[in-house]
A = this chain, B = another copy of it.
């Protein structure tokens, strides 16, 4: 048995694997429209939003591009916040579309400082949007969206475009309460579903911005999408099998309850961090902003990333992720999102202890 503890694709529970064996249907049928409506409504419950939640057939990066091209025009000023590799990717997407981007970065392992974000925004009188990652998967650090939105709104009212790819669904991000304008996630993270679907919420203010947004786009166009979404369809052929899977996953998640789901992952994150610390691993980064879906640890002293993760996988069937960018070879990352129990964490941490303590003796 493989214990897949990477931050996506996450393991599929039996209900989801079974749903994937469903025969194809027409995407222009009442069966599809029921499927689409149930999935969009279910996802919306976890987003805690009344906004439309669109279902794009793409990875989360496609949704990143959708957030940008539907709300901004080349030359628009925007403030981008990056605390790691996925923040940097968001910035790359924005730059590819000719946005006049000011980037505020924080060292890996840290969250964005709300005061610094608000100060940077206050110095940009024409800033139309703030782009930010909620849960930075590369460092296992979560930004405090409550504090950041509050601090910024003292100075003005920009669009908030939020990457919640690896947290939404498992973590409490009340989209409407926080006034987040475009928020996106993808199916292979919290949602216990294969990759291939990105879910994107669009606020009334984002729709206002859409009216004048000049970035060129077709596949990711929100207007085109909305026309079909309101009849519970998509403009192009959607990833039907992934929708079957997501429906099954949502039934499991909603069976547990939305608030109960958020609590489960918060407690599981606490448990994982305690289990790792008790086992003598050193957590990476500012633990006051630790992610509730993934945890990063320093590699054990003397261990190479290749050996440590290689032996973990080969000997114990535990698959964890390495560091990305500047953190490559320095940290490893254990995911606790989607289909995961305390027993999975116990097995993973137990194996890590053995690999660390036996280092050099097994291969």
Residues of A that sit less than 8 Å from B by CB: 2, 4, 6, 8-12, 17-18, 20-21, 23-29, 57-62, 64-65, 74, 92-93, 96-98, 186, 188, 194-196, 215-221, 235-242, 245, 319, 321
Contact = CB atoms under 8 A, between A and B. Distances in A.
Which has the most chain B C-beta neighbours within 10 Å: A2, A92, A98, A221? A2
A217 B245 CA distance: 30
A241 B244 CA distance: 12
A9 B25 contact: yes
A4 B24 contact: yes
20 contacts: A2-B23, A2-B25, A4-B25, A8-B237, A9-B24, A17-B23, A21-B21, A24-B188, A29-B319, A58-B58, A60-B237, A62-B219, A65-B218, A96-B217, A97-B218, A98-B216, A196-B196, A196-B242, A219-B220, A239-B239
Nearest to A338: B24
A319 to B, nearest CB: 6
A78 to B, nearest CB: 15
B240 A195 contact: yes
Contact of A59 (B57, B96, B321): B57
Contacts of A238: 59, 195
Given A196-B241, A237-B186, A11 B29 contact: no
Task: Give me the 9 closest cross-chain CB pairs, A-B, nearest first.
Answer: A194-B241, A196-B239, A59-B236, A9-B24, A20-B20, A61-B236, A96-B218, A196-B196, A195-B237
A58 B56 CA distance: 8
Contacts of A92: 218
A43 to B, nearest CB: 17
A20 B242 CA distance: 10
Contacts of A74: 216
Contacts of A196: 57, 196, 239, 241-242
A235 to B, nearest CB: 8
Given A12-B23, A188-B240, 10 more contacts: A6-B26, A17-B21, A18-B21, A57-B57, A60-B236, A61-B218, A64-B218, A65-B218, A65-B219, A98-B216
Contacts of A65: 218-219
Nearest to A18: B21
Given A24-B194, A96-B218, A239 B237 contact: no
Contacts of A319: 26, 29
A282 to B, nearest CB: 24
A165 B319 CA distance: 37
A176 to B, nearest CB: 27
Contacts of A236: 59-62
Contacts of A12: 23-24
A321 B217 CA distance: 29
Which has the most chain B C-beta neighbours within 10 Å: A25, A61, A216, A238? A216
Nearest to A186: B237
Contact of A216 (B8, B9, B97, B242): B97
Contact of A23 (B11, B61, B219): B11
A16 to B, nearest CB: 10
Nearest to A5: B26
Contact of A194 (B195, B235, B239): B239
A265 to B, nearest CB: 18
